[in-house]
Copies of this chain bind each other. A is one copy, B any other.
Amino acid sequence: MGFRLPAAALRPLRSSVLLKPAAQQTRWLATPTPFPVTQNMTSSRGPTAMVFLNMGGPSTTDEVGDFLSRLFADADLIPLGRLQNYLGPLISKRRTPKIQKQYAAIGGGSPIRKWSELQCAEMCKLLDQISPETAPHKPYVAFRYANPLTEHMYRQLLADGFGNGKGGRAVAFTQYPQYSCSTTGSSLNELWKWRQRLEGKAGPLDDGSDGTIKWSVIDRWPVHPGLVEAFAQNIEAKLQEYPPERRDKVVLLFSAHSLPMTVVNRGDPYPAEVGATVHAVMQRLGHVNPYRLCWQSQVGPQPWLGPQTQMSVEEYIAKDQKDLVLIPIAFTSDHIETLYELDEEVIGESGHKDTVKRVESLNDSPVFIKALADLAKTHLDSGIATSPQMSLRCPGCKSDRCHESKKFFAAQELA
């Protein structure tokens, strides 16, 4: 199993104090308790591995250096060209002390592991109820730049009895609602890489299948009604903090991680999908409040997609619009970009901490976790390996890795 949490600690939801900080939790690598995989269990196609993909974050400040060095080595995320192997380590080493301070300021580490493990485990419990034919559902988390790394997750899958000639089914479930080549694309390329390294040579079985893990992918879900509802409820809760006479005039500032214009101009689908999410949330809210979509976390001298979140806040305040609610719309749990960048920098430096606020991240929202289960159930019922959309490369894509990875996932045949 991907990780271990006492079932009691996961209930009730919304009580995050019940969970120990990720760093203190029993590390999953130390507890590879395999469960028996029987692919021919009567009237069941299970077990099914549910693998949450996300970028991850350092659970302790000690992990910041490794985290950054993996991040700046990722050409899907930060394309540095032929100098990647030289520039990546240089930049990451230089940035480590500064980023360590930021993680120290938000409690010593990112909560993304805690939330991801909780969300996945809770979703699996729901799935066991609503999709008994694919039960049991086993939760795994695979991060791109932090523990649990994709490689380790994959080794755990094998240790737990998936693959290795025994087949078995795993669902790669991106935790980015909107697809970008630099996020979901990068995670899938990494998953494909380790699949080729760890399973590439598995021999064929008598029944024609080759006994490797059968993968399918949930690659995007920008306007899923449950996701939209979860965002909307958190926004409504935050708006309640404003006096009724000001409430409808609060400006909603949706904020998503920006992309370099080179990625946008290559044809990355992310900006359009973020736009779709924003519109769906505003429709659910009845278009009562004015709103804008802005983009955060730009870094370096090259052009990124704007308008910038921090600048937008400053400009609205300069226009005497001081009631502002920030909504992280492209990430499903708290992380350094919400807890530090939005809370400490954007809001902290705005001079109006009383009227510039941020909505809660989805974290342990039961509405959100139910949405995840609903998405997974629909996917499992569909028998589809990947969406037609995922198999289409960006018009400007030159990456052989993308080409091969997409080909691999699209070719997965589900029984």
Contacts and interface: CB of A to CB of B under 8 A. Distances in A.
A387 interface: yes
Interface stretch (A14-22, A34-42, A51-59, A304-312): A304-312
A311 B279 contact: no
Contacts of A312: 267, 395-396
Contacts of A283: 223
Interface stretch (A81-89, A141-149, A164-172, A287-295): A287-295
B395 A311 contact: yes
Interface stretch (A110-118, A258-266, A347-355): A258-266
A394 interface: yes
Interface string A301-325: 0010111100110011001010000
A393 B265 contact: no
B273 A279 contact: yes
A387 B271 CA distance: 24
Given A261-B261, A287-B387, A222 B315 contact: no
A278 interface: yes
B290 A279 contact: no
A275 B269 CA distance: 9
A5 interface: no
A319 B393 contact: yes
Contacts of A305: 264-265
Interface in A353-398: 387-389, 391-396
A325 to B, nearest CB: 13
B292 A396 contact: no
Given A307-B394, A396-B311, A292 B275 contact: no
A57 to B, nearest CB: 27
Contacts of A387: 287
Contact of A316 (B306, B308, B395): B395
A392 B267 contact: no
Contact of A272 (B261, B278, B394): B278
A14 B274 CA distance: 36
Nearest to A317: B395
A251 interface: yes
A388 B275 contact: no
Contacts of A265: 305-308
* Most B C-beta atoms less than 10 A away, residue of A288, A290, A303: A290
Contact of A287 (B288, B307, B389): B389
A105 interface: no
A345 interface: no
B275 A272 contact: yes
A308 B265 CA distance: 7
Contact of A395 (B248, B266, B294): B294
Contacts of A264: 305-307
A411 interface: no
6 contacts: A266-B307, A272-B274, A291-B392, A292-B394, A303-B303, A307-B396
Interface of A: 222-223, 248-249, 251, 261, 264-267, 269, 271-276, 278-280, 283, 287-294, 303, 305-308, 311-312, 315-316, 319, 321, 387-389, 391-396
Interface pairs A-B: 4 shortest CB-CB:
A275-B275, A272-B275, A265-B306, A276-B279
Given A271-B275, A288-B388, A292-B394, 17 more contacts: A223-B283, A261-B261, A264-B305, A264-B306, A265-B307, A267-B294, A267-B307, A271-B272, A272-B293, A291-B389, A291-B392, A307-B394, A307-B395, A311-B395, A312-B395, A315-B395, A315-B396
